[in-house]
């Protein structure tokens, strides 16, 4: 009797059909479709661990765990449910007048380092989330713009929509590339996240999860990577205060802050054990940090704002409204406004009954980092910014604001970058206001001329170094220039300015890649790259009907360079893979026209997205299983 099939390939699983593969050989469905037969979601049935096998030795079919992993595999401390008070787990702070103490722990000496069924489910969810993020933009352009049916993707009661934003946003200009179709504000959009799992962890499992950490070697590497590569230009954490608590068993750092620092550090870490499973590691760390955030265990609301900012370093799925950077920055703004972070506390006299100066300086660093991130996010999407000039009175940053709790100015932080980025985002906030639905058209020309002058003045003192901070702030500058030029899209001078900014953006990205710095780019890098690709595509469309083929070839070369950069950037920001596929399809399409030597110009009034957006991408996740045990160690110093 044939053995019952226990697994399906990715294609059959997605199509919900029976897979006839045996021992992961190519199935008949994939043979017929002439596609690769892949198995990325693992086996459905989880083998039970054998009780007579020592857990210090590898099981059959599994690689041997290295010493740094085996040393912690047999002990995973968890928080006892009885240790929770009405205020939650007292992890980073202790009640007034009582010494600090960590949560009560117990050891599970006989717990094997295996992946539980819930973790297998989580791995599949991570893989599906990345697949959705990488291909959602494809499906939108293929079926969402030109289709007549409002339910192009789902039934009416399960619809998702996308707001394209004002006329400065990337999405609005991507839609306008499909010229013959009328332009609307709202379109149907494909799936943005996996369906929620039916299984729910109980309270004990959740508490165990949030008190699990990567092995100490990995944890220390992530923390060092965060402070060296992120906090240096995204200064939301007082490094001196955090490291003092982290190294002191009697005064541990905030549990929430620890998890989000590990999350952000995993994004930029170059540790060899993290490179090949970065997305899965970040998914586990995000789940833990978000659980702590949702459990309301954190009593210091400044830590909530810091966490919201560091959540922007993780791409959860394809949702650009109720998840990811746009959502978390909105959460951070609300909390910051609620505790008065937008007001100038430097005017309050120091004293025993007032906020310490070190805390005031930390507030200011966090506030201005939040301001810059929120403005750049609003610019990307063409949506209203939650922070307006009239709503805050914080003074500009100064060198003194970067003095940490130990009384020293952190030498890691690029102070000039932080102050100059704030100046630039003040200009960007004015650019966003130009495209507001009720913006006064009578004063538009005067406001645009003033912004051009301010940008030119800012650029005269722009740092010309080749370090990451200098390159990154130039990316912000040129992105703002392109968005401003879109308001006067028919003006020849504005088009030339945008063209120059586009070429600068491509050159900057290539310098970042050559210097191995592209991993440090935040979510704004995707904004800059997409804006550059759109600008080049519009120039190609115009050149195909009015210019020499040599001009088109030169522009195609630029667009191809964008696609190469997007391939590197997508390793850290999966949605950029969708951008790469969209514009690589256009490169292939326009190149085919030139090779055909047509005597008549191409009809660029309609871009047939269905012809160029027809493939799928699947996440390779062979190493996910072995990483779960690496991430499930206890907190040890």
Predicted confidence (pLDDT) per residue in 430-447, tens digit? 999 998 888 888 889 899
587 token code pair? 């490169």
Q: Are the C-beta atoms of residues 191 and 134 closer than 8 Å to each other?
A: no
pLDDT for 150 equals: 57
pLDDT band at 73 (very low <50, low <70, confident <90, very high): very low
pLDDT band at 182 (very low <50, low <70, confident <90, very high): low
- Would you say the pTM of this structure is higher than 0.85? no
In the chain, where are the structural domains located? Answer: 1-40, 122-189
What contacts 24+ positions apart, CB below 8 Å, involve 14-19? none
Higher pLDDT, 53 or 382: 382
Higher pLDDT, 93 or 608: 608
Higher pLDDT, 233 or 151: 233
Q: Are the C-beta atoms of residues 323 and 193 closer than 8 Å to each other?
A: yes
What does the alpha-carbon distance between residue 50 and residue 86 come to, in Å, rounded to a whole number?
Answer: 40
pLDDT for 264 equals: 97
Give the dihedral of Cα atoms 61, 65, 70, 76; nearest 10 deg: -70
Q: What is the mean pLDDT of residues 211-232?
A: 95
Q: How many CB atoms lie within 10 A of CB 603?
A: 10
pLDDT for 276 equals: 83
Residue whose pair of structure tokens reads 């009416």 in the numeric block? 156
Strand partners, 188: 161
In this predicted structure, the answer to whether residue 402 has a pLDDT above a threshold of 90 is yes
Q: What is the mean pLDDT of residues 111-116?
A: 32
Q: Are the C-beta atoms of residues 186 and 149 closer than 8 Å to each other?
A: no
pLDDT for 169 equals: 73
Q: Are the C-beta atoms of residues 143 and 190 closer than 8 Å to each other?
A: yes
Give the residue among 138, 20, 232, 121 at the shortest CA–CA distance from 614: 138
468 token code pair? 């990451």
Q: What is the mean pLDDT of residues 211-225?
A: 94
What does the alpha-carbon distance between residue 134 and residue 613 come to, in Å, rounded to a whole number?
Answer: 12
Domain 1-40, what fold? CD2-Gal4 (4.10.240)
Q: Are the C-beta atoms of residues 319 and 192 closer than 8 Å to each other?
A: yes
In this predicted structure, the answer to whether residue 617 has a pLDDT above a threshold of 50 is no
pLDDT for 506 equals: 97
Strand partners, 32: none
Instruction: Note the pLDDT tens digit of each residue in 250-262.
Output: 888 999 999 999 9
Q: What is the mean pLDDT of residues 88-110?
A: 34
In this predicted structure, the answer to whether residue 78 has a pLDDT above a threshold of 80 is no
Instruction: Note the pLDDT tens digit of each residue in 403-417.
Output: 999 999 999 999 999
589 token code pair? 């399409």
* Residue 610 CB-half CA count within 13 A: 6
Higher pLDDT, 48 or 204: 204
pLDDT band at 346 (very low <50, low <70, confident <90, very high): confident
Give the residue among 347, 380, 345 at the shortest CA–CA distance from 366: 345
Percent of the chain's residues with pLDDT above 90: 43
Q: What is the mean pLDDT of residues 53-69?
A: 33
In this predicted structure, the answer to whether residue 604 has a pLDDT above a threshold of 60 is no
CA distances from 59 to 71, 210, 610, 626 (A): 16, 27, 48, 12
pLDDT for 278 equals: 92
Pick from 285-299, 311-325, 340-354: least confident: 340-354
Pick from 36-40, 100-104, 384-388, 633-637: least confident: 100-104
Q: Are the C-beta atoms of residues 79 and 69 closer than 8 Å to each other?
A: no
What does the alpha-carbon distance between residue 246 and residue 230 come to, in Å, rounded to a whole number?
Answer: 18
Q: How many CB atoms lie within 10 A of CB 41?
A: 23
Q: Are the C-beta atoms of residues 441 and 397 closer than 8 Å to each other?
A: no
153 token code pair? 């993707």
pLDDT for 603 equals: 46
397 token code pair? 């940053």
Burial (Cβ within 10 Å: 0-12, 13-18, ≥19) of residue 112: middle
504 token code pair? 């600068």
- Three-state DSSP string of 481-513: HHHHHHHHCCCHHHHHHHHHHHHHHHHHHHHHH
pLDDT band at 198 (very low <50, low <70, confident <90, very high): very low
Which residues have CB under 8 Å from 132's CB, separation 6+?
190, 191, 192, 193, 194, 317, 318
DSSP 236: -
Instruction: Note the pLDDT tens digit of each residue in 494-532.
Output: 889 999 999 999 999 999 999 999 999 999 999 999 999
pLDDT for 265 equals: 97
- Which of 4-8, 33-37, 111-115, 556-560 has the largest mean confidence? 556-560
In this predicted structure, the answer to whether residue 113 has a pLDDT above a threshold of 50 is no
Q: What is the mean pLDDT of residues 132-142?
A: 67
* Residue 513 CB-half CA count within 13 A: 19
Which residues have CB under 8 Å from 537's CB, separation 6+?
177, 559, 583, 586
Q: How many CB atoms lie within 10 A of CB 40?
A: 18
What does the alpha-carbon distance between residue 536 and residue 531 come to, in Å, rounded to a whole number?
Answer: 9
In this predicted structure, the answer to whether residue 65 has a pLDDT above a threshold of 50 is no
Which residues have CB under 8 Å from 289's CB, separation 6+?
256, 259, 260, 262, 263, 307, 311
pLDDT band at 24 (very low <50, low <70, confident <90, very high): confident
What does the alpha-carbon distance between residue 98 and residue 94 come to, in Å, rounded to a whole number?
Answer: 6
Higher pLDDT, 77 or 342: 342
Give the residue among 383, 476, 461, 468 at the shortest CA–CA distance from 428: 476
H runs (alpha helix) in 140-187: 170-176
pLDDT for 45 equals: 40
In this predicted structure, the answer to whether residue 249 has a pLDDT above a threshold of 60 is yes
In this predicted structure, the answer to whether residue 82 has a pLDDT above a threshold of 50 is no
């Amino acid at each position: 009797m044939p053995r019952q099939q226990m697994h399906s390939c990715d294609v059959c699983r997605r199509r919900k059909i029976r897979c006839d593969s045996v021992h992961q050989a190519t199935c008949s469905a994939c043979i017929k479709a002439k596609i690769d037969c892949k198995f990325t979601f693992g086996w459905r049935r989880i083998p039970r661990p054998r009780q007579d096998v020592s857990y210090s030795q590898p099981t059959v079919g599994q690689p041997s765990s290295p010493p740094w992993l085996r040393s912690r595999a047999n002990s995973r401390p968890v928080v006892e449910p009885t240790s929770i008070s009405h205020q939650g787990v007292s992890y980073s702070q202790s009640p007034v007048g009582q010494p600090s103490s960590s949560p009560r722990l117990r050891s599970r000496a006989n717990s094997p380092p295996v992946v539980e069924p819930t973790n297998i489910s989580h791995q599949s969810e991570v893989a599906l989330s990345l697949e959705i993020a990488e291909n959602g933009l494809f499906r939108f352009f293929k079926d969402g713009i030109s289709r007549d049916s409002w339910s192009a993707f789902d039934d009416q009661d399960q619809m998702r929509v996308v707001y394209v934003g004002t006329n400065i946003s990337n999405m609005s200009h991507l839609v306008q590339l499909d010229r013959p179709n009328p332009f609307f504000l709202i379109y149907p959009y494909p799936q943005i996240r996996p369906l929620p799992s039916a299984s729910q962890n109980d309270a004990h499992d959740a508490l165990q999860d949030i008190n699990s950490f990567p092995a100490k070697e990995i944890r220390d590497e992530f923390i060092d990577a965060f402070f060296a590569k992120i906090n240096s230009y995204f200064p939301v954490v007082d490094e001196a205060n955090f490291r003092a608590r982290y190294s002191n068993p009697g005064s541990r750092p905030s549990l929430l802050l620890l998890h989000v620092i590990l999350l952000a550090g995993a994004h930029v870490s170059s540790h060899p054990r993290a490179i090949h499973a970065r997305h899965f590691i970040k998914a586990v760390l995000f789940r833990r940090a978000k659980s702590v955030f949702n459990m309301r265990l954190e009593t210091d609301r400044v830590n909530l704002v810091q966490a919201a900012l560091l959540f922007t370093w993780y791409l959860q799925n394809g949702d650009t409204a109720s998840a990811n950077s746009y959502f978390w920055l909105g959460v951070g703004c609300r909390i910051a406004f609620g505790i008065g972070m937008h007001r100038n506390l430097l005017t309050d006299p120091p004293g025993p009954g007032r906020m310490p100066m070190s805390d005031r300086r930390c507030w200011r660093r966090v506030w201005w980092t939040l301001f810059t991130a929120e403005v750049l996010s609003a610019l990307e999407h063409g949506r209203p910014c939650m922070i307006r000039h009239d709503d805050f009175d914080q003074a500009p940053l100064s060198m003194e604001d970067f003095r940490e709790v130990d009384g020293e100015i952190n030498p890691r932080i690029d102070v000039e970058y932080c102050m100059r980025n704030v100046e630039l985002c003040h200009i960007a906030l004015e650019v966003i206001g130009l495209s507001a639905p009720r913006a006064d058209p009578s004063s538009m020309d005067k406001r645009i001329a003033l912004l051009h002058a301010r940008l030119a003045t800012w650029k005269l003192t722009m740092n010309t170094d080749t370090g990451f901070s200098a390159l990154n702030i130039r990316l912000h500058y040129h992105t703002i220039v392109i968005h401003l030029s879109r308001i006067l899209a028919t003006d020849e001078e504005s088009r030339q300015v945008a063209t120059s900014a586009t070429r600068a953006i491509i050159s900057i990205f290539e310098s970042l890649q050559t210097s191995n710095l592209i991993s440090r780019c935040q979510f704004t890098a995707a904004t800059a790259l997409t804006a550059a690709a759109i600008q080049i595509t519009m120039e190609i469309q115009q050149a195909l009907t009015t210019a020499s083929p040599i001009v088109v070839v030169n522009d195609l070369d630029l667009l191809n360079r964008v696609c190469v950069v997007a391939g590197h950037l997508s390793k850290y920001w999966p949605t950029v893979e969708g951008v790469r596929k969209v514009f690589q399809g256009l490169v292939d399409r326009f190149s085919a026209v030139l090779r055909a030597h047509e005597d008549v110009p191409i009809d660029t009034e309609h871009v047939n997205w269905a012809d160029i957006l027809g493939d799928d991408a699947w996440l390779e996740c062979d190493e996910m299983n072995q990483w779960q045990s690496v991430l499930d160690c206890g907190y040890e110093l």
